[in-house]
Amino acid sequence: MHTVTWTIRPNEGTSRQDIEYELEASKADYAGAVGLQRVVLGVSADNKSVIEISVWESKSAADMFFSKSWETSLSRRWQAALFSREDWDTPCVI
C-alpha cells in the first residue's frame, strides 16, 4: 500500500464555505480511480490548511492518477494556492 498526502494552503481570505465547496467538488475526481483504496479530506480549524489523504494499492497507481494535468487541475481549483505532495509507504491500514 502507498499513501499520498496533498497539503493545500488556500489563499488568504478563502472562506470555510468556499473550502468545503472545493472539497465536495474534488470527490468526483477520485471516483473510479484504479488502485484507490480510500480518501480522506480535511480542513484545519483556522481554514489555512487543507489536506487530501489517499491510500493506494501501489505507488505506481498513485503516480498514474496524480499526473501533471491533475496538478494543473488542483492549481486551478484552488486558484493557484500553494500545495505540496508527500508520499508514504503504508505497510498497514486499519
Domain ranges for the chain, please list them: 2-89
Q: What is the CA radius of gyration of the chain?
A: 13
Q: Supply the pTM of this predicted model.
A: 0.88
**One-letter identity of residue 5:** T
Residue 37 Cα distances to 33, 80, 87, 89, angstroms:
9, 28, 15, 14
**One-letter identity of residue 87:** D
Give 53 or 25, the one with higher predicted confidence: 53
As given in the structure block, the three cell numbers for residue 39 are: 480518501
**In this structure, CATH architecture of domain 2-89:** 2-Layer Sandwich (3.30)
pLDDT for residue 35? 97
What is the band of 24 on the pLDDT scale with cuts at 50, 70, 90?
very high
pLDDT for residue 82? 85
How confident is the model over 60-76, as a mean pLDDT? Answer: 92
